[in-house]
């Protein structure tokens, strides 16, 4: 018989109790107001980040400001620029369910599994994330690229099944559909002149993937797109614009429905910038030439959750 006596350590709780915490409601219900979590910051990323140099992916990383593991442009999305020189190949395989690309310039091909897509300037491409995607350029190319790896990283999961197959939105057809929307006699009565990219696998949300939402839009000469807001982050890319185009962004409206104390973001071709969720924003074109933009958002997910809450002043 072992007579050694081992007293219980009364001051050490069982492991299954160690992580439990309790907070009074008013000190925890709004972690932004309590300074426990940061707001998504305004930020712009110029075309100079990718207009020259070797082939590479340039993450638009705000993870330090967000207090999360990076790279991440928002809590659930990462935007990137891609520089891909003629003859070079880049292999992409983020832990993501959804990837959307816009071809800023150049041409080439992408192979993912049994699918091969030829792309050129102005094309949009949507790829699932299970398999590696191999991009090769036949001409010097630049692309804007958004995926949802930060969302999966936060959830602690890995992609396990693809919800759609690689999908091409050819430039010629996308431009024709956008011009059709712009030429509609009722276009000037609508909140914006744009088309949304959809996928037949997501009829409820009518979005480019089940997570991502992508819009291709025109800001007509001399026009104002009135203040609006939504709960999805907007990762905006300016395809082309004249001088005199800009956005105003702020948290509140005044009595006249205009943004109070706004931050101004001046547009330039090839610029990417972040519009935080829940913020009012308005777009202005004070020139005599059209401007073209692409917002990509996590609004596929937000729409499915019934939480997008888009509003207009």
Q: What is the pLDDT of residue 156?
A: 97
Strand partners, 58: 81
User: 3-state class of 65 per DSSP?
Assistant: helix
| CA proximity to 145, closest of 95, 104, 87, 115 | 104
Question: How is residue 47 annotated by DSSP?
Answer: G
CATH architecture of 38-312: Sandwich (2.60)
Q: What is the pLDDT of residue 11?
A: 74
Q: What is the pLDDT of residue 186?
A: 86
Query: What pTM does this model have?
Result: 0.93
Q: Would you state the structure tokens that stand for residue 229, as one six-digit string?
A: 């807001």
Give the distance from CA 171 to its chain's centroid: 20
- Residue-wise DSSP of 223-290: -EEEEEE-SS-EEEEEEE--TTEEEEEES-B-TTSPBSSPEEEE--TT-EEEE-TT-EEEEEE-SSS-
Q: Quick count: other Cβ atoms within 10 Å of Cβ 119?
A: 25
Q: What is the pLDDT of residue 249?
A: 96
Residues 51 and 39 sit within 8 Å (Cβ to Cβ):
no
Sign, CA dihedral 210-155-274-63, equals: negative
Strand partners, 165: none
Question: Is the link from the previous residue into 110 a cis peptide, with omega within 30 of 0?
Answer: no
Q: Which helix (H) or strand (E) holds 172?
A: helix 171-183
Distances (CA, A) of 175 to 161, 215, 218: 32, 12, 10
Q: What is the pLDDT of residue 13?
A: 82
Alpha-carbon distance of 78 to 99, in angstroms, equals 10
Q: What is the pLDDT of residue 6?
A: 59
Give the distance from CA 286 to its chain's centroid: 26
Alpha-carbon distance of 145 to 220, in angstroms, equals 25
Q: What is the pLDDT of residue 9?
A: 58
Residues 210 and 290 sit within 8 Å (Cβ to Cβ):
no
In sequence order, the 6+-apart residues with CB closer than 8 A to the CB of 10 are none
Residue identified by tokens 């191999």 is: 134
Digits of tens for pLDDT over the chain (313 positions)? Answer: 555 655 555 678 888 889 999 998 988 888 888 888 999 999 999 999 999 999 999 999 999 999 999 999 999 999 999 999 999 999 999 999 999 999 999 999 999 999 999 999 999 999 999 999 999 999 999 999 999 999 999 999 999 999 999 999 999 999 999 999 999 988 777 878 999 999 999 999 999 999 999 999 999 999 999 999 999 999 999 999 999 999 999 999 999 999 999 999 999 999 999 999 999 999 999 999 999 999 999 999 999 999 999 999 8
Strand partners, 111: 116, 134
In sequence order, the 6+-apart residues with CB closer than 8 A to the CB of 279 are 229, 249, 250, 251
Residue identified by tokens 């071709």 is: 269
Ranges of each domain in the chain: 38-312
């Amino acid at each position: 018989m072992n007579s050694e006596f081992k007293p219980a350590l009364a001051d050490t709780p069982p492991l299954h109790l160690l992580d439990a915490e309790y907070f009074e409601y008013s000190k925890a219900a709004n972690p932004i107001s309590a300074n426990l979590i940061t707001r998504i910051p305004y930020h712009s990323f110029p075309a100079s980040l990718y207009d020259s140099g070797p082939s590479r992916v340039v993450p638009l990383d705000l993870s330090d400001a967000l207090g999360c593991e990076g790279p991440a442009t928002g809590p659930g999305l990462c935007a990137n620029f891609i520089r891909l020189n003629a003859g070079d190949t880049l292999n992409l395989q983020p832990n993501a369910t959804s990837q959307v690309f816009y071809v800023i310039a150049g041409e080439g091909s992408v192979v993912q599994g049994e699918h091969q897509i030829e792309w050129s300037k102005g094309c949009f491409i949507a790829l699932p994330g299970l398999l590696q995607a191999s991009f090769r350029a036949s001409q010097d190319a630049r692309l804007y690229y958004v995926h949802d790896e930060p969302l999966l990283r936060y959830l602690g999961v890995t992609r396990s099944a693809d919800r759609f197959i690689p999908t091409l939105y050819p430039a010629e057809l996308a431009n024709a559909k956008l011009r059709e929307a712009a030429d509609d006699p009722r276009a000037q009565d609508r909140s914006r002149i744009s088309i949304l990219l959809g996928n037949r696998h997501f009829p409820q949300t009518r979005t480019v993937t089940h997570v991502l939402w992508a819009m291709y839009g025109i800001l007509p000469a001399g026009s104002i797109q009135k203040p609006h807001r939504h709960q999805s982050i907007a990762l905006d890319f300016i395809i082309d614009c004249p001088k005199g185009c800009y956005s105003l962004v702020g948290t509140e409206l005044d009595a006249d429905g205009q943004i109070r104390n706004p931050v101004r973001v001046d547009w330039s071709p090839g610029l990417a910038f972040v519009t935080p969720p829940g913020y009012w924003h308005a777009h202005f074109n004070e020139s005599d030439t059209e401007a073209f933009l692409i917002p990509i958002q996590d609004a596929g997910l937000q729409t499915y959750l019934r939480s997008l809450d888009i509003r207009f002043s």
